Structure 1
Amino acid sequence: ERNSLKRGQEILVQVIREPVGDKGPKLTRNISIPGKFIVLLPEDHSINVSKKINDINKRRRLKKISREIMGDNGMILRTEAQYEDEETIKDEYEYLNELWKGISKGFLYKKSPCILFNLRNFYEFVLREYAKNNVDEIVINKEEDLIKIESILAAQGSDSKKISFQDNSFKEMDGVYNLIKNSLNKTVKLPSGGFLIIEKTEALIAIDVNTGNFVGNENKEETVFKNNLEACEIIYKEIKLRNLSGIIIIDFIDMEDEKNKQAIFEKMVQLSRKDIMSTHIYGFTKLGLLEMSRAKKGKDIISLTGCSDAFSMDSICYNLKNVENHCIKEMKRFNARQFEVFMQEELIRIINEKFKFFIDKMKEIYNIDIYLVKDKAENNYLIKRK
């Protein structure tokens, strides 16, 4: 395929991995367009079913539906497709085909280089990848977002009954903020009194399990096993919350009984099957460390919140969103309309250059005045009512 390319030739490519450090983005000419239930494979005539669907009858049903609705483009039936009827899957197949026609047309008529389609449009991406069958409620606190999300769900053929509009949803807002804040801590407490230490290095993620004050009434081996078993659930929850990827090494508390080690391994395998990311649990090394790997998709929580770089675009966006939430809460409770935000001079410069619209929108939408004040504090920002 490489030999068929000529210098200066325009080709259609898809970014399948973001740039990391010195490594540039990874591209492919094998285009795939994900929907909620299927992934469209343009100019491909294959039919594939997610490996996470183990039921033979469900796999047969989905393949039968695929053969009946398939046109010029192939598809992959995603895990969520097993819960849907033929009409819903057909509607999404046709919708994705129309998207592909638009992309193809843009390739012919638009001047390169340019983005023809962004698969990671925020609302569509979140609803497609995370609003799964196990989601009970989607809480929204802005009317404009409510309209957008209802429109997307209608196009996806999804149930909009799960949407809950709560204009003053401070409980949910604070809950999300605290969840993110806790996910930035290296230490995570276990219910029984033990704790985890999670550290990210250049090469891998290291997770250390400790008993803490948990001693139990049984023998030592049984106590250690119970602590490790409890840790499995919390470890996997933290891996997903923090979006950890790459090589992950878990140092469980030493167990002498091989049956207990096998039970821990099987528990981690069981948890990995519920992960939307491709994950492999390799087992215990001779040193008693559990090895696993998890595919990378997007950035981890440390990169997004400014803990690694306060001046990155991701962390600035995250902090401005927190400023917005804080100001809205103060406005609702105390009718406050003017706020001073103290931050480093370099952050003020970047915001004035690239995020001036944020201050304008706060005034336009909420009638809130934001004043940026130079401060030498190490914290990213500090908010005070004026």
Structure 2
Amino acid sequence: MSEEILINITPMESRVAVVENGVLQEVHVERTLRRGIVGNIYRGRVVRVLPGMQAAFVDIGLARAAFIHAAEISQREGAAVESINALVREGQTLVVQVTKDPIGTKGARLTTHLSIPSRYLVYMPRTSHVGISLKIEDEAERERLKAIMARCVESEGIEHEGGFILRTAAEAAREEDILADIRYLRRLWQQISGNLQGPTPVPIYEDLTLALRALRDLVGPRTEKIRVDSRENFQRIGQFVEELMPEVATRLEHYPGERPIFDLYGVEDEIQKALERKVLLKSGGYLVIDPTEAMTTIDVNTGAFVGHRNLEETIFKTNLEAATAIARQLRLRNLGGIIIIDFIDMEDEEHQRQVIRTLEKQLERDHAKTNIIGITELGLLQMTRKRTRESLSQVLCEPCANCQGRGILRTAETICYEIFREILREARAYQANSYLVLANQKVVDRLLDEESGNVADLEAFIGRTVKFQVETMYSQEQYDVVLL
């Protein structure tokens, strides 16, 4: 399976697309004015301790205080979680790292278990553990990597100076490359540790920009090309690759074309589709994806697909296609947290197992951690996907000003009846010669047409005339009643 990484950079924003066999699988967007802060390390100040929640709020210099749970505050390895009151106090300085960006109304999530990633390793200065990513499954390779780490740690004389985790990218890595990573991380930690004391709140380490993070985290053996459309940034990225990832230098190329790189690969169209609720399947079926504050629900429908043999076969084929499409949509939209999937009910248990296996297989390529929990008594599949940054729609969209993010509007009929009730309230409270209603065109049209009889009855009841005026700037739910 061929994979390409496209990097589009402008002064306002950076965008990275992962394209597999010509199909967009992931897109990451970082706006210059509001870069994500996951991975950043801060000297923060505890502003509030919450014993009931075993947590505290920490000021790290953002608009909202960040949140840290007692379990995320450094303690002895293997020890039980202590009371939050025994761990921190208000006004205390705390060196923390962001594990989740502020999302919606929730502040950033923090930990004091610091970790600094490089190409092949994650360095953890406050533990002594050496581990290997579970995604490296080959036992011989795991043993080889353990032996390499033991030799490197011994040669550097750093047995008691922090722990390491070998990332998935370390599979088949050479000893000299891993040793170079260890030295880079040690130099970086010495620089950070020199800034642990001082005033608060202050950032003391910032993670890489999106383009460099993409190279560090997304490039794998399947990646055939990394194309960058900005010459200036291509040179900067080339420098980074030369220092930290020389093995991918031959795959890095500058795209000088007149046509925008995202247009060339059809990425712009796919981004627009990824913001819609409905996802069409090739068979004629479709998905409906609804992210909410608590969870994301995905409904699978057969739509126009009626199959060739029987209903059960039709349902099975639709669900199989949906499982593949869902795995792609989760990556593409960067949906996280609890995800509930309502596949079309299947009577055959073997069909159920095959659909779940297909979903699991497709999720193996996902860079975010996923966990399929199983099917509930109601036949809904439960799963989770690790959420660290905002979803694509949260980055690119905002709640509708007209419906306040509900996704629905009160009908013109409903607004008419609200206006009648408002006029009755005003008539009881104030003396007026007449009333003027300012409203949206659709509402005024209804008042003068279908509701004209009710308007006449209302005028007779209050003994006053009611006039109407169209306000073109008003949404369907907006109106004002003015006393004349």
Q: How does 1:1-386 map to 2 (within 5 A)?
A: 1=75, 3=86, 5=88, 8-70=91-153, 71=158, 72-108=161-197, 111-158=199-246, 159-168=248-257, 170=259, 172-174=261-263, 175-308=266-399
* Secondary structure class of the residue paired with 1:83: coil
Deviation at 1:85, TM superposition (A): 1.1
Q: CA separation in 1, counterparts of 2:268 and 2:295?
A: 27
Could you tell me which runs of 5 or more consecutive residues in structure 2 were left unpaired when the two chains were aligned.
1-74, 76-83, 402-472, 476-484
Q: Quick check: which one's strand share is greater?
A: 2
Q: Is the 8 A contact 1:232 1:267 kept in 2?
A: yes
Amino acid at match of 1:201: T
Q: Deviations over 1:227-268 (max 9, x none)?
A: 111111111001000000111111111111011011111222
Cα distance per residue 1:40-73 (max 9 Å; x no partner):
1113221101111111111111111111112222
Contact 2:255 2:261 in 1 (8 A): no
Cα displacement (A) at 1:39: 0.5
- Change in 2 beyond 3 A, CA 1:12/1:265: same
* 2: CA distance, partners of 1:33 / 1:377: 51
**Which residue of the partner structure matches residue 405 of structure 2?**
none
SS at match of 2:224: coil
Structure 2 distance, partners of 1:4, 1:285, is 39
Opposite residue 309 of structure 2, the aligned amino acid is E
**Alignment CA distance shift 1:177-1:223 (3 Å):** same
Report the AA paired with residue 175 of structure 2: E
Aligned amino acid, residue 131 of structure 1: V
Q: Distance in 1 between matches of 2:258 and 2:330?
A: 27
In 1: Cα distance, 2:141 partner to 2:474 partner: 58
Stretch deviating more after TM superposition (197-206 or 294-303): 197-206
Q: What amino acid sits opposite 1:288 in the alignment?
A: G
Q: Point out the structure with the larger helix share.
A: 1
Distance 1:289 1:43 in 2: 41
Give the partner amino acid of 2:164. Answer: M
Measured in 2, the distance between the counterparts of 1:377 and 1:165 equals 49
**Structure 1 residues 4, 208: CA separation in 2 closer, same or farther (over 3 Å shift)?**
closer
CA contact (8 A) 1:141 1:169 kept: no
Task: Between 247-256 and 129-138, report the one with greater CA deviation.
Answer: 129-138
Matches of 1:239 and 1:4, distance apart in 2? 37
Residue 190 of structure 2 aligns to which amino acid in structure 1?
Answer: K
Give the Å deviation of 1:377: 12
Counterpart of 1:335 in structure 2 is none
Amino acid at match of 1:266: R
Residue 273 of structure 1: how far off its partner (Å): 2.6
Point out the structure with max Rg over C-alpha: 2
Q: Return the alpha-carbon distance in structure 1 between the equivalents of residues 321 and 170 of structure 2.
A: 32
AA in 1 matched with 2:229: N
Q: Is contact 1:245-1:294 (8 Å) kept?
A: yes
Q: Does the 8 A contact of 2:128 with 2:162 survive in 1? A: yes
Separation in 2, partners of 1:196, 1:135: 29
Q: Distance in 2 between matches of 1:169 and 1:83?
A: 38
Corresponding letter in the other structure for 1:12: V
CA distance in 2, matches of 1:86, 1:114: 37
Q: Structure 1 pair 124/171, CA: closer, same or farther in 2 (3 Å)?
A: closer
Contact 2:283 2:318 in 1 (8 A): yes
Between 151-160 and 233-242, the greater mean CA deviation after superposition: 151-160
What is the percentage of aligned positions where both structures have the same residue?
35
Q: Is 214-223 or 247-256 further displaced after alignment?
A: 214-223
Question: Structure 1: which 5+ residue stretches go unaligned?
Answer: 311-375, 379-386
Relative to the length of structure 1, the TM-score reads 0.76
Per-residue Cα deviation, 1:72-128 (whole angstroms, up to 9, x for no partner): 2210011111131111111111111111111111224x5432111112422322211
Secondary structure of 1:13 counterpart: strand
Cα deviation digits, residues 291-332 of structure 1 (max 9, x gap): 11111011101111124379xxxxxxxxxxxxxxxxxxxxxx
Distance between the aligned counterparts of 2:372 and 2:323, measured in 1? 12
For the residues of structure 2 that align with 1:128 and 1:23, how far apart are their CA atoms? 28
In structure 2, relative to structure 1, the CA distance for the partners of 1:309 and 1:66 (3 Å cut) is: farther
1:85, 1:309 → 2: CA distance?
52
- Greater shift, 123-132 or 26-35, is seen at 123-132
Q: Does the 8 A contact of 1:18 with 1:24 survive in 2?
A: yes
Q: Is the 1:196–1:209 contact (alpha carbons within 8 Å) kept by the matching residues of 2? A: yes
Aligned to 1:346: none
- Cα drift, residue 213 of structure 1: 1.9
Change (3 A) 1:152 1:377: farther
Question: SS at 2:195's partner residue?
Answer: helix
Residue 145 of structure 1, CA deviation: 0.7
Could you tell me how far apart the structure 1 residues matched to 2:90 and 2:292 are? 40
Over 3 Å counting, the alpha-carbon distance change for 1:66 and 1:234 in structure 2 is same
Aligned partner of residue 294 in structure 2, secondary structure = coil
Tell me the amino acid that sits aligned with residue 306 of structure 1: C
Q: Give the 3 Å change call, closer, same or farther, for CA 255–104 of structure 1 in structure 2.
A: same
* Distance in 2, Cα, partners of 1:19 & 1:307: 15
Measure how far apart 1:15 and its partner are: 1.2
Equivalents in 2 of 1:264, 1:4: separation in Å? 47
Of structures 1 and 2, the one scoring higher in RCO (CA 8 A, sep 6+) is 2
Q: Give the partner amino acid of 2:358.
A: K
Contact 1:302–1:308 under 8 Å retained in 2: no
